[in-house]
Structure 1
Amino acid sequence: MTRTPLRPLARILSAREKGENPDHIERENIRLRAEVTRASSQTRAEGRLLLLGLAFFAAFTVVGARMGLLAASEPMEPRTAATGQEISGRRADITDRNGRLMATNLSTHALYAHPKQMVDPARVARELAVLFPDMNASDLERRFTDGRSFLWLRKKLSPEQMQSVHDIGDPGLLFGPRDMRLYPNGKLAAHILGGASFGAEGVHSAEVIGVAGIERALDTRLRDPAQANTPLALSIDLTVQSTMTEVLEAGMVMMNAKGAAAVMMDVHTGEIIAMASLPDFDPNDRPSPLLKGDPADSPLFNRAVQGVYELGSTAKILTSAQAMELGLVNADTMVDANAPLRWGKHKIGEFEGKNYGPLLSVTDVIVKSSNVGTANLALKIGGDRQQAFFKTMGLFDPVPIELSEASTAAPLIPKRWADIVTITTSYGHGMSVSPMHLASAYAAIANNGIKLQPTLLRRDRAPEGRRVLSEANAKAAASMLRQVVTRGTASMGEVEGYEVGGKTGTADKVKATGGYDKGKNINTFAAMFPASDPQYVIVVTLDEASENTGPKPRRTAGWTTVPVTAEVIRRTAPLLGLRPKIDYAPVASAASATTPVE
């Protein structure tokens, strides 16, 4: 910007020549400069006033629009703003294979207190203690008056309890909405579902997390907001589960057992159709775990998966099947069964001192459950090949099934695999596995030699498995198991029309101090049905069972576990859609009928 001088020299010289006063020129320039400055300031002021006016207009427009929206909307209870991530209590439902509900969410309320807002803390404490017997009035009053500003009182309230608390009428008692996990079938399938509890909690919501079973194993899937409206479909059939549990519970009582477990598996898909462990619990009111003593005494203990036992003679069919697969024998090969068998300082005998020798066919080794015959087969196989086969059958690793407890239930394997270990493990002693392991191994035999991974999730089609036996040898093994029922140690396992095949196993329990307790057994029956075309495998285990109707207690699986398993099959096979095969006697023709006496 060019500034004009107040006393321009040319004009001053000209004014002096004319006799004029040069000061007039300076005053005139000052006046002109002041007018320019005043005009510029006025323009700037007018612009600022315009901008300020527009700003006020916009602000009042926004405020007016917001007030209009609030006046037109439904009234809401104001909430206190909180920092941090929002707590989501949503969790997907769980159903059985047919869509029947096993676990869902229920809207309820929690009870909390603002002690500083209470009118009469002593009265509130007394009345709450009456409503909730597990609360102590004096303890509540102490906590209400010790200066704290917030206190959780109950995580879950029924509608009746909520109304009763309302009736107390103190402003310091408040309710927070939340979802809780509900298991509408109570104890049914408790060990499969496991249970859930609250994680992160806020006044207006609480996080629901799985604490055991499939609720914990698939917690991420169940809490995924994108799948919250898609139920998790299990392989379990609730009708079969209920029937099997009912029979198992009655059998446990009748056989004076302290515990029981059962697993039923579809051999063609690997799906677990039913799984039970007794004693059980209600996941709606999950008990606390034991802090001392034997974990197996807790109802939370899943005997079907966590219980690893020496499953006795049920392992013999695995030894025979491997020997046939290696080409060492066939079903009719005669083997040495002369008892007792001496191996170093060890003596291998038969049940009750029997001797089935000198020779037995491989089939009769299984039918008569010969320890000596099985031991001689195992010695032909050798320890290295025996271990490799057991690994192939999944008996050396935890079962890869969708239960949080499964990963911690590893089989108990001998550290050194000497020849005597090869002998004893061939007939189910010296190595401990779970009923689920055994069911998976038997399913491989029943599935024509193809082993599938067991699962608790519904499968729409059969997965590809791994061949562990040839089809011919698998069928031969299944035929042996059928003969165990028709003429062997499992005669009480016959169910008319369903061709049951299976193998009994009786093993002495291991003492905590070492050695075996001869008066306490684990009794097992592993079966498949129908044996001519196996569809399902079932394994039933009774802990310390004893059949006491005779002159002396009978503790073997043939007397205890087998009849219980037979009743499970008798009642569940029709539910599974299996039609019985019944051979009817031919009806005599009219011509051959006896002529009546006149």
Structure 2
Amino acid sequence: MIRTPLRPLARILRAREAGENPDDIEAENRARRHAEIQDRTRKRASFRLWLMTFAFTAAFGAVGMRMGALASSDPSEPRAQTTGARIISQRADIVDRRGRVLATNLSTHALYAHPHQMVDPRRAATELAEIFPDLDEKQLTRDFTGKRTFVWIKKKLSPEQMQAVHDIGEPGLLFGPREMRLYPNGQLASHILGGSTFGAEGVSSAEVLGMAGVEKAFDNWLRDPANAGAPLTLSIDLTAQAAMEEVLSNGMRVMNAKGAAGVLMEVATGEVLAMASLPDFDPNDRPRPALKGDPSDSPLFNRAVQGQYELGSTFKLFPVAQAIDEKLINPNTMINANSPMKIGKYLIHDFHNYGGSLSVADILAKSSNVGTVRIAQMLGPERQQKFLKDLGFFEATQIEMTEAPTGKPLVPQRWPAVTAATVAFGHGLAASPLHLAAAYATIANDGHRVRPTLVHRRDHPQGERVLSEPAARTARGLLRGVVTRGTARAAEVEGYDVAGKTGTADKPRPGGGYYDSKVISNFASMFPVDNPKYVLVVTLDEPSVTNAGGATARTAGQTAAPVAAEMVRRLAPIVGLRPHADADLPVIENRTPADLKVATN
């Protein structure tokens, strides 16, 4: 800024020449400058006053509008705002195919403490230990009397426990609202549901995360707000599941088995209506996983999905069905069944030496190892491998559970002649009961591949063809013969025309070889045979029962088959099947009389 001089030289000189007083010029200039300064100051002050007036008017206007909005709205409790990521505590329900709740949420409270607000921390620790026996009184005392300012005590409380803590009267004990996962049916379908746990936690909310089963497999979907709370609908039928678990539990007890598994699958869709593994657990109080020993000893182990078992003579159906499809045999083809049979340095035996030849129908009905190997040799190892691969025995099932990949079958790396022989009658390749159920469902589905699923939906794409329809139909007739006159007579259920195959396999030792008196017994079946709607697989781990003659029996015909028969009696009416008198499909039997003595596998 250029300032005007108070005593301009030119005017001063002219004033002196004119005899005027130069000081008057300075006074005049000084007065003009002061007037300009005052004018600028007045304008600045006026602008500030207007600005303050506008600010106060806007502020009081906003307050007034907010007060008006609050006065016209419904009253509600204020909510505290916190920084950081939002905790997503909402989780969708899980229901069965009929809409019955399998998993839901329950409002509860967590218990925490602010030790610096406590009046008598030692008494509080003592009384909390009385309410919650799992808490350590000494540790609580150290936490409450130390330097900690915050202590988690319990992540979830029952109403009774909450009232008991209220009665302590300690101001430093505080409650935070939250939602917990509730499984109203307890242990029912525990392996399918899996269980849940808390993730990110705050004093007023907690994130619920899936730990196993469908809870973990669908974790993102169940927590997605975009689903607007829509439930996840499983293929499980709660009534059928309860009946299966009850029958399987009783059968496991009667047969003195170490464990058991069962699968009921809808043939046309692959939907699993019931799937059980025993022993089981309560997902409301999920046990800790075992860190030592055999994983199958833990109740968390899902035998139906994770179990890798040699499934014994249930596998004999596959080379027979494939050879029929290849037109190498028919049900009445006679096969050399002399036992033992030598392959390289190995001998293959039948439990009974049937002598001479057996028809294909009798090979399956009597469960002849030698006859089955002869049929497998007609196919050759390459075709045998391809067929088993097409049935799904070389990969894990795609069922919607996190445990599914751990149940991938144990397939031999090499496939020489002796391996092809042993796999033909169910040894050397280990798979889960769910794999077996899917393979039998493929044959029941006229040869179209069936993939198991736990999701209930309307549209199910038809699987690729694995076996021709005539061959699949013939194979089903042969299985019916196993029940009517073969090793699975104990599986017959009047009015439902059950078709199936028994399988008894010695359990392998961890260090190699097989146990002498420990077996896995299986029965894989479909019903009704004329138009199969359902496939049922029952597996018993180390069964042992005393038969009528006083001898110890372990074979599937005497253990798994009768348990499966009781399941059919209970489950068929539940799924809407009515018993009928006659089936349209004739039972395929040998044209010549044959020894119908029951085999042991």
TM range (shorter): over 0.9
> What is the aligned partner in structure 1 of residue 121 from structure 2?
121
> What is the aligned partner in structure 1 of residue 500 from structure 2?
502
**Could you tell me whether the CA contact under 8 Å between 2:439 and 2:450 is conserved in 1?**
no
How far does residue 42 in structure 1 lie from its aligned partner after superposition? Answer: 1.6
Choose the corresponding residue for 1:548, options 546, 549, 560.
Answer: 546
> What is the aligned partner in structure 2 of residue 444 from structure 1?
442
Taking the aligned partners of 2:547 and 2:228, their CA distance within structure 1 comes to 53
1:512 is matched by which residue type in structure 2?
A: P
> What is the aligned partner in structure 1 of residue 348 from structure 2?
348
2:281 is matched by which residue type in structure 1?
A: F
- Between 319-328 and 482-491, report the one with greater CA deviation: 319-328
Taking the aligned partners of 2:531 and 2:104, their CA distance within structure 1 comes to 38
User: Structure 2 matches for 1:493-572, cutoff 5 A?
Assistant: 493-550=491-548, 551-572=550-571
Taking the aligned partners of 2:288 and 2:178, their CA distance within structure 1 comes to 23
After superposition, the Cα gap between the structure-2 partners of 1:34 and 1:442, relative to the gap in structure 1 and judged at 3 Å, is: same
User: Structure 2 matches for 1:208-287, cutoff 5 A?
Assistant: 208-287=208-287
1:580 is matched by which residue type in structure 2?
A: P
> What is the aligned partner in structure 2 of residue 454 from structure 1?
452
Taking the aligned partners of 2:518 and 2:71, their CA distance within structure 1 comes to 77
> What is the aligned partner in structure 1 of residue 364 from structure 2?
366
Per-residue CA distance 1:71-125 (angstroms, 9 max, x = gap): 777474674x532101121110000001011000000011111111110011111
Taking the aligned partners of 1:83 and 1:311, their CA distance within structure 2 comes to 57
> Helix, strand or coil: the match of 2:564?
helix
How far does residue 428 in structure 1 lie from its aligned partner after superposition? Answer: 0.1
How far does residue 37 in structure 1 lie from its aligned partner after superposition? Answer: 3.3
2:555 is matched by which residue type in structure 1?
A: T
**Could you tell me whether the CA contact under 8 Å between 1:331 and 1:361 is conserved in 2?**
yes
User: Structure 2 matches for 1:41-56, cutoff 5 A?
Assistant: 41-56=41-56
How far does residue 314 in structure 1 lie from its aligned partner after superposition? Answer: 0.2
> What is the aligned partner in structure 2 of residue 299 from structure 1?
299
> Helix, strand or coil: the match of 2:367?
coil
> What is the aligned partner in structure 2 of residue 332 from structure 1?
332
Per-residue CA distance 1:557-596 (angstroms, 9 max, x = gap): 1111111101101111111111211259xxxxxxxxxxxx
User: Structure 2 matches for 1:81-160, cutoff 5 A?
Assistant: 81-160=81-160
Choose the corresponding residue for 2:412, options 395, 414, 420.
Answer: 414
Choose the corresponding residue for 2:485, options 484, 487, 498.
Answer: 487
How far does residue 53 in structure 1 lie from its aligned partner after superposition? Answer: 2.6
How far does residue 474 in structure 1 lie from its aligned partner after superposition? Answer: 0.6
TM-score normalised to structure 1 length? 0.93
Taking the aligned partners of 1:424 and 1:11, their CA distance within structure 2 comes to 129
> What is the aligned partner in structure 2 of residue 473 from structure 1?
471
> Helix, strand or coil: the match of 1:574?
helix
Choose the corresponding residue for 2:433, options 432, 435, 439.
Answer: 435
Taking the aligned partners of 1:416 and 1:205, their CA distance within structure 2 comes to 55
2:575 is matched by which residue type in structure 1?
A: L
> What is the aligned partner in structure 1 of residue 589 from structure 2?
none
How far does residue 23 in structure 1 lie from its aligned partner after superposition? Answer: 5.1
**Could you tell me whether the CA contact under 8 Å between 1:269 and 1:459 is conserved in 2?**
no
Taking the aligned partners of 1:583 and 1:235, their CA distance within structure 2 comes to 30
Question: Gaps spanning 5+ residues in structure 1: where?
Answer: 585-598
After superposition, the Cα gap between the structure-2 partners of 1:12 and 1:143, relative to the gap in structure 1 and judged at 3 Å, is: closer
- Between 25-34 and 564-573, report the one with greater CA deviation: 25-34
Taking the aligned partners of 1:22 and 1:200, their CA distance within structure 2 comes to 87
After superposition, the Cα gap between the structure-2 partners of 1:213 and 1:228, relative to the gap in structure 1 and judged at 3 Å, is: farther
Taking the aligned partners of 1:501 and 1:280, their CA distance within structure 2 comes to 29
Taking the aligned partners of 2:404 and 2:17, their CA distance within structure 1 comes to 119
> Helix, strand or coil: the match of 1:197?
strand
After superposition, the Cα gap between the structure-2 partners of 1:413 and 1:198, relative to the gap in structure 1 and judged at 3 Å, is: same
Aligned residue-pair number? 581
Question: Gaps spanning 5+ residues in structure 2: where?
Answer: 584-601
1:336 is matched by which residue type in structure 2?
A: N
> Helix, strand or coil: the match of 1:164?
helix
**Could you tell me whether the CA contact under 8 Å between 1:522 and 1:544 is conserved in 2?**
yes
**Could you tell me whether the CA contact under 8 Å between 2:95 and 2:232 is conserved in 1?**
yes
- Between 435-444 and 372-381, report the one with greater CA deviation: 372-381
User: Structure 2 matches for 1:70-89, cutoff 5 A?
Assistant: 74=75, 76=77, 79=80, 81-89=81-89
Taking the aligned partners of 1:300 and 1:191, their CA distance within structure 2 comes to 7
**Residue 398 (str. 1) matches residue 378 (str. 2):** no
How far does residue 58 in structure 1 lie from its aligned partner after superposition? Answer: 2.7
Taking the aligned partners of 1:583 and 1:60, their CA distance within structure 2 comes to 89
- Between 121-130 and 441-450, report the one with greater CA deviation: 121-130
Taking the aligned partners of 1:77 and 1:263, their CA distance within structure 2 comes to 51
Taking the aligned partners of 1:266 and 1:405, their CA distance within structure 2 comes to 21
- Between 152-161 and 138-147, report the one with greater CA deviation: 138-147
Per-residue CA distance 1:495-534 (angstroms, 9 max, x = gap): 1111100000000111112111121111000000001111
Taking the aligned partners of 2:33 and 2:429, their CA distance within structure 1 comes to 111
**Could you tell me whether the CA contact under 8 Å between 1:452 and 1:463 is conserved in 2?**
no
- Between 287-296 and 241-250, report the one with greater CA deviation: 287-296
Taking the aligned partners of 1:336 and 1:129, their CA distance within structure 2 comes to 74
> What is the aligned partner in structure 1 of residue 169 from structure 2?
169
> What is the aligned partner in structure 1 of residue 573 from structure 2?
574
Taking the aligned partners of 1:323 and 1:387, their CA distance within structure 2 comes to 13
> Helix, strand or coil: the match of 1:537?
strand
After superposition, the Cα gap between the structure-2 partners of 1:201 and 1:555, relative to the gap in structure 1 and judged at 3 Å, is: same
**Could you tell me whether the CA contact under 8 Å between 1:109 and 1:155 is conserved in 2?**
yes
